[in-house]
Structure 1
Amino acid sequence: MQFDPTLYVITDSTYHTTETLLRAVDDACAGGATLIQLREKDTGGRDYLALAQMVKAVTDKYNVPLIIDDRVDVALACDAAGVHVGASDLPVSVCRKLLGPDKIVGATAKTVEAAKAAYADGADYLGTGAIYPTTTHVATRVTPVSTLDEVCRAVPIPVVAIGGLNAENMYVLANSPIAGVAVVSAVMKADNPRTAAEEIKEKFLAMHNR
């Protein structure tokens, strides 16, 4: 499946109701998000699927691919574009086998070795970070931009930078060969998610002469 990783918005429902989460996703898509990931670390399968179906109705309206964090079963059940898995989730090779060749499989890779392994196992893109400490409830370890750049050069698939990024601090990535940026709080916590998405995307494209 073809996809554009330029602005990858990851949801965080810890400070949203279902209604405001869906509104934030709609605003993010309207503001230029090119991928949306639904991340629900503490939600059971039934509720996760129900929310995924609602979010997909929004992303479909904008033709933005929906990625499901961790849960291949939920991704299959709602016919999402794909999944994203971390080091403690299902292996990339298993996700690829379950989803088939036409779905997107993304993986977190904090080292060159992990990046090469994920690519060999069938990953379509990698998320590398955290570039800055984050305010999300997901445990993070800061990754130097030099390591991010090494990961980009080590694999032929797109690499997106993640971790505490926003329109004001993205300058550290100006010379990095990344394919895009992934953001959570910068959009999901913003007073105006649409404007936040627009500013981040505009800044990224300007930095990378696109």
Structure 2
Amino acid sequence: MSHIPEQLRGLYVISDDTLTPNETIIEQITEALQGGATIVQLRNKKGTLEEIKSLSITIQELCHKHNALFILNDKIDLAIELGVDGLHIGKSDHHRFEEIRKEFKGVLGVSCYNSIDMAKDFERLGADYAAFGSFFHSATKPNSNVIEMNILKTAQEELNIPVCAIGGINLENVDQILEYKPQMVSVINDIWTAKDIQEKAQNYTNHLEGKNMKLSIALEWFLNPDHLPIVAGIQTGKYKDVGLDIDLIEPEEHYDGFDLLEKGQIDIHINEPLHLFEHHFDGIKSLGCYFETHGGVMIRQSSVEKLRNNEPIRITTPASNPITNTIGFEILKRYADKEGFALEKENVDFIETDFYHIKNMKEQDFDGAWLCFYNFEGIEAEHEGFENLFVDQRISPYPNFSALELMTSEETLNEKREAIDKFIAVTNEMTRYCQKNSEFAKTVFYDYSKQEKSELMDKIIDDTLERFEYLKSDATRWRELADFLDELDIVKLDNTAYDKIW
């Protein structure tokens, strides 16, 4: 052909004598087309010539209704007679290629297996696309040789015609193929054995057409129940259903995600809104808050009098630095001012340890713990009967920031808006489902995290579920927090910089 049609891209489905029998083939192909298949090949090795002719006419009409291409496999004379959209030939007809090209005016595709040189020769002789494979073990052709995927990269570099990948491809491995960007991906077994062919075809279409649909997400710390809606979306395949490939990253340090986000090495970062301001950079964008709990400083009950008497106290914390220590002290100071007792900064010593707050207070005789979240430490203290005073925003007048905000960059948002919109929609759906199905939420968390099931973790999950909310960007939500940080000389954002975040 002088002009290669635009349909030579996307999902290329091929019929099979066993999987698409004559009794159901039209219905099956209709579903595949409705799911987004752009090319349909009729590969019929057992039917009579009249049966294949009748099917070809019907299927080509069906394809045209869906703006798709119809390709006939091997039946050269019939393809010429009917003037079908396309013809695909294998090695048994390679020797006739020049003759076929002269007689057949439609799209002419050729199987090149594992040979770039062969593909170059056929391109020179007029082939419209080249197919390579198998790339995985194929149930349809179990004796096919499995070849290296790197041939797809070479084909893209050395050929000027579209490339089709074939052989053993399914939704579990298709992303490996897509790394090499073939124009077409051919599927047989995985499509026709699906309970819902249209849905399966749509899943492939989402993968194939979903440019920039892979999202890398850096967590704020280690994986925990605060991330349950996202874990549920991964475990149930809901993100994959809309063409998303989600990669969750646990950072080595609490603030690593901001650096990665600014450098464009991740797409989304999860962290407390406090750090949205503390680690602000030009172009950072809020996608919204999906979780909020109570948080602050936990004082063991036996040390409350020491606090009130302005005696020296030791506070365990996973992060001791000038900023977090200033905020921790301010929370206690505001509580002291409200209650009418004095508290001096030099009497509060923040000591960096880890996140095992209750354990540290019990075993190392700390007076308190800073950076406590009620849905974790509050629940754990209740579970263990550990008496304490939880100094949070309910008893100390400061703006809450014990929440999780999703953040991206302006560049990533512009580049991957469709993917991010889908991510938000699925995450909201999973939030709703987890809240209505707590046992499901526990199961997916334990399965994904590989943590051993425990009564304490069950209680933490139950409390956490109540604190999830739908993701929605809100410019007013953290205004008071920004003013609080400004007042403490921690972060000073002018109104323009603040407004640009949302």
TM-score (norm 2): 0.39
Q: Does 1:27 pair with 2:27?
A: no
- CA shift, 1:43, in A, is 2.8
Q: How does 1:59-74 map to 2 (within 5 A)?
A: 59-74=63-78
Provide the residue aligned with 2:210 in structure 1: 206
1:165 equivalent among 163, 166, 169: 169
Shift of 1:19: 3.1
Query: For 2:110, what is the secondary structure of its paired residue?
Result: strand
Contact 2:17 2:46 in 1 (8 A): no
Specify every segment of 5 or more residues in structure 2 that has no aligned partner in the other structure, as ranges.
214-415, 417-502
User: Match for residue 92 of structure 2?
Assistant: 88
Query: CA–CA distance in 1 between the matches of 2:180 and 2:187?
Result: 17
Give the count of matched residue pairs: 208
What 5-or-longer segments of structure 1 have no aligned partner? none
For the structure 1 residues 154 and 166, does the alpha-carbon distance in structure 2 shift closer, same or farther, using more than 3 Å as the test?
same
Q: Among residues 40, 46, 64, which one is paired with 1:42 in the alignment?
A: 46
Q: Residue 144 and residue 32 in structure 1: after superposition, are their counterparts in 2 closer, same or farther (change >3 A)?
A: same
Change (3 A) 1:134 1:150: same
Could you tell me whether the CA contact under 8 Å between 1:3 and 1:65 is conserved in 2? Answer: no
User: Which position in structure 2 is the counterpart of 1:3?
Assistant: 6
Report how far residue 63 of structure 1 moved. 2.4
Tell me how far 1:139 sits from its aligned partner: 4.5
CA deviation profile, 1:54-106 (whole Å, cap 9, x unmatched):
22232122121100001122222333101001111253322211113xx1000
Counterpart in 2 of 1:117?
A: 121
> Which range moves more in the overlay, 87-96 or 190-199?
87-96
1:14 to 10, 18, 29: 18
Q: Which amino acid aligns with 1:199?
A: N
Tell me the SS of whatever aligns to 2:194. Answer: coil
Pick aligned residue for 2:148 from 144, 164, 189: 144
- Superposed displacement of residue 192, structure 1: 1.2
Identity %: 27
1:51-66 correspondence runs (5 A): 51-66=55-70
The one-letter code sitting in structure 2 at the alignment partner of 1:183 is: V
Question: In 1, distance between residues paired with 2:91 and 2:212?
Answer: 29
**What amino acid is aligned across from residue 187 of structure 2 in structure 1?**
V
Q: Is the 8 A contact 1:92 1:105 kept in 2?
A: no
Q: Residues 3, 75 of structure 1: CA spacing in aligned structure 2 closer, same or farther, 3 A cutoff?
A: farther
Structure 1 equivalent of residue 457 of structure 2: none
Compared CA separation, residues 207 and 171, structure 1 to 2 (3 A):
farther
Aligned with 1:178 (options 167, 177, 182)? 182
TM (normalized to structure 1)?
A: 0.90
Does the C-alpha gap of structure 1 residues 134 and 208 become closer, same or farther in structure 2, counting only changes over 3 Å? farther
> What displacement does 1:113 show?
0.9
2: distance between equivalents of 1:145 and 1:44? 36
Question: What SS is found at the alignment partner of 2:93?
Answer: coil
Task: Call closer, same or farther: CA 1:207–1:164 in 2, change over 3 Å.
Answer: farther
Aligned residues of 2:72 and 2:88 also touching (Cα < 8 A):
yes
AA of the residue aligned to 1:82: G
Query: Match of 2:173, as an amino acid?
Result: N
2: CA distance between counterparts of 1:107 and 1:139?
19
Two-structure CA RMSD over aligned residues (Å): 2.0
State the partner residue of 2:81: 77
Where do 1:98-109 residues align within 5 Å? 98-100=103-105, 103-109=106-112
Q: Which has the larger radius of gyration?
A: 2
Offset at residue 207 of structure 1 (A)? 5.7
What's the CA shift for 1:200?
0.8
Partner residue of 2:158? 154
3-state SS in 2 of match to 1:92: helix
CA offsets, 1:169-196, max 9 Å, x none?
A: 1121242031121111121221111111
Contact 2:17–2:45 (8 Å) recurs in 1: no
